[in-house]
Amino acid sequence: MEQNDATQTADVLIEALPYIQRFSGKTVVVKYGGNAMVDDRLKRSFARDIVLLKHVGINPVVVHGGGPQIGRLLERLGKESRFVQGMRVTDAETMDVVEMVLGGLVNKEIVNLINQQGGRAVGLTGKDGGLIRARKLLAATSDIEGDLVDLGQVGEVSAIDPAVVHMLDGGDFIPVIAPIGVGEDGAAYNINADLVAGKIAAILGADKLMLLTNTRGVLDGKGELLTAVSAREVAVLIADGTIHGGMLPKVECALDAVNSGVKTATIVDGRVEHALLMELFTDQGVGTQIRG
């Protein structure tokens, strides 16, 4: 390393130190959206950042999505995806695909990426260790016709048993969680990953919830980034349609998390390399902070 590079590295470390100390021993829940899993370079970089957090004494817990990946397999099988208010209408056949893609393909890819970068990740779905209990989400209103739509096997979280996550954290492992819940009757439920991340952050008493996605954060009607929004502003933006589709569960779960004691929740651009570190380890942060 050149002298200049070495000095720069030292400067960066010194600047990051207060933030590292602030989060040391704390839990940070990172929701890794399917849309943020853009290419191999970004995925490796995400995994490296997660391993770095663990190395500096922070407990990262990853909750992942995989909506686009589910959509691609459904398409190959000749099945159309339908979303109502950001939720995939999930019949029994679709549920099988969701479980295969989230619990298998995507979960193991992330686990493998983290392990390749020197971490020790363990993949879970909500079925493992009875982590996520779910119940059927009642009908949602269609955006287009205003009709009530039965969402099928779409669930909402009814309870979380964090014992398995605590055990992994304590053993220096990094939990990587797929958003599949299990009902009273043993049936699998497809749960929006943002909603799972919010509930996990709340029950773990996380210091921070970060939702990595494919926009700069919450945008206003003119496409400008809002660096912070309150519950009241969110309600207005939803009512006038500025916040819609996949952004709805994101703001909803972030609000829920901060109202349940999570110190901060932010929506961050996962397409930007090291967005996660910039949000955690700098004063200005990046993306949109959601305030209760």
Ligand X SMILES: CC(=O)N[C@@H](CCC(=O)OP(=O)(O)O)C(=O)O
Ligand Y SMILES: Nc1ncnc2c1ncn2[C@@H]1O[C@H](COP(=O)(O)OP(=O)(O)O)[C@@H](O)[C@H]1O
Residues near ligand Y, by CB under 6 A = 33-36, 65, 67, 213-215, 218-219, 242-247
Identity of the residue, 219 or 228, whose beta carbon is nearer to ligand Y in the bound complex? 219
Q: Is 66 known as a binding-site position?
A: yes
DSSP code at position 224: P
CA distances from 92 to 69, 97, 108, 206 (A): 18, 9, 23, 34
Of 276, 251, 274, the residue nearest 60 (C-alpha): 276
Say how many residues touch ligand X, by CB under 6 A.
Answer: 17
CB of 188 to ligand X, least distance (A): 12
Choosing among ligand Y, ligand X, none, which partner's interface includes residue 218 (Cβ < 5 to 8 Å by kind)?
ligand Y
Assess 179 for contact with ligand X (CB under 6 A).
yes
Angle at 40 between CA 39 and CA 46, to 5 degrees: 95
Q: What is the closest distance, in whole angstroms, from the C-beta atom of residue 136 to ligand Y in the complex?
A: 21
- The reply to whether 190 sits in an annotated binding site is yes
| Nearer to ligand Y (CB atom), residue 187 or residue 219 | 219
Whether 291 has a binding-site annotation, put simply, is no
CB of 197 to ligand Y, least distance (A): 10
Which one of residues 154, 174, 251, 275 is an interface residue with ligand X (CB under 6 A)? Answer: 154
Q: Which does 244 bind (CB under 5 to 8 A by kind): ligand Y, ligand X, none?
A: ligand Y
Please state, in angstroms and as integers, the Cα–Cα distance from residue 94 to each residue in 82, 98, 132, 154, 228, following that order: 11, 6, 20, 10, 36
Read off the amino acid at residue 78. G
Q: Does 122 bind ligand X (CB under 6 A)?
A: no
In the complex, the smallest distance separating the C-beta of residue 200 from ligand Y, rounded to whole angstroms, is 15
Map tokens 């009902």 to a residue.
183
193 neighbors 65 (Cβ within 8 angstroms): yes
Structure-block tokens of residue 265: 């929740």
Which residues within the stretch 2-41 sit at the binding site for ligand X (CB under 6 A)? Answer: 33-35
CB of 34 to ligand X, least distance (A): 3
Rounded Cα–Cα distance for residues 258 and 270 (Å): 21
Residues 90-109 that bind ligand X (CB under 6 A): 98
Q: Does 153 bind ligand X (CB under 6 A)?
A: no
Q: Taking CB under 6 A as the rule, does residue 152 contact ligand X?
A: no
Residue 67 counted as an annotated binding residue: yes
The footprint of ligand X on residues 42-81 (CB under 6 A) is 65-67, 70
Strands (E), the chain: 27-32, 59-64, 83-84, 87-88, 121-125, 132-136, 140-141, 148-149, 155-160, 174-178, 180-182, 188-190, 208-213, 228-230, 264-269, 288-291
194 vs 183: CA distance, rounded Å = 19
Q: Which residues bind ligand X (CB under 6 A)?
A: 33-35, 65-67, 70, 87-88, 98, 154, 179, 190-193, 246
